[in-house]
Amino acid sequence: MSAPLLTALPAGPDDLTVWPASTTRLPQGHLSVGGVSLAELADRFGTPAYVLDEDEIRARCRTYRAAFPQADVVYAAKAFLSRAMVRWIDEEGLGLDVCSAGELELAHAAGFPPERMVLHGNAKSPRDIELALRVGIGRIVVDSPSEIARIAALTGPAGRQKVMVRVVPGVSAGGHEKIRTGTDGQKFGLSLTDGSAQHAIARVLGQPQLELTGLHCHIGSQITDVKPYLVAVRRMAGLMARIKDSHGVTLPELDLGGGHGVAYRPGEPALDPTALARRLTGELTDSCTAAGLPVPRLLIEPGRAIAAP
């Protein structure tokens, strides 16, 4: 297939807002990204082809780091991963969220520091867990009760693995019902509402091989409003306060996942990371102060907001 597919005029012929910032229109009407003609790329590599603008990716990483200077920004590899991407994410100082042995192996082979990786997945195989432990992964996010004993057993009596527990906080948000993961009745995480999260947390705390560093939630994707995140923060802070009361444990970290909406077509709304950061960190400080908790270190996991263009 030749060039026309890639160079078709975007809706609103001159609206290039959903393209990388470097996109320009060449005199023949073709598009150029990062100074490279897409028609030439299509001729050379065929289509479909994924084309990434390194400057765009790096700029988006920097925007996040500047917006969240006190947080760990962890890129969600499921949005897109390649060896080059691993290198850029590493050089820009982000962490990496991987959710399969394949993503983990790719990142590891490309030299990404394992301590800055977070392993997700609602059906982690023993092989996923073994590999994660072997490379010395930073954190494993527990997504179901059956994982707890498995991770502890594979860690072995002499080891100690940092884990988080993925909580479903009962917040509905996201661009489509299939990508709303903040409420019960979907396949990810442990419910706050029915007590499974609290039960799993107690079990993790009872395992000497596991160090619970904090809680995690990912309420959905393509979220364009800050408010659901603020509700999630309040619920997570409430749960952290209850953990402190009942177990005497103050958790030092809170991971709020990703889901920051991007525009796929000109004119669609997107979530502004800077505005999100301001409101989130304000809410986190207020909620923790009200609950008598120190403010935990925040982690966020943007995926498409880094890679989509």
> Which residues form the interface with ligand PLP (CB under 6 A)?
76, 78-79, 97, 120, 218, 221, 257-260, 301-305
The nearer residue to ligand PLP, 39 or 129, going by C-beta atoms, is 129
Helix pair 196-205, 227-247: axis angle to 10 deg? 50
* Cα–Cα dist 64/302, whole Å: 9
* Minimum CB distance to ligand PLP, residue 125 (Å): 18
> 213 or 221, CB closer to ligand PLP?
221
In angstroms, give the least distance from the CB of 56 to ligand PLP. Answer: 16
Cβ 118 to ligand PLP shortest distance, Å: 9
Nearer to ligand PLP, 214 or 257 (CB): 257
Measured from the CB atom, the residue of 36 and 188 that comes closer to ligand PLP is 188
Q: Please give the DSSP secondary-structure letter assigned to residue 223.
A: B
Residue closest to ligand PLP when measured from CB atoms: 303
Whole-angstrom CA distances from 107 to 83, 161, 185, 281 are 7, 20, 32, 30
* Minimum gap (Å) between residue 159 Cβ and ligand PLP: 24
Nearer Cβ to ligand PLP (108/139): 139
CB of 156 to ligand PLP, least distance (A): 27
Give me the DSSP letters along 119-185. E--SS--HHHHHHHHHHT-SEEEE-STHHHHHHHHHH-TT--EEEEEEEE-S---SSSGGGB-SSSS
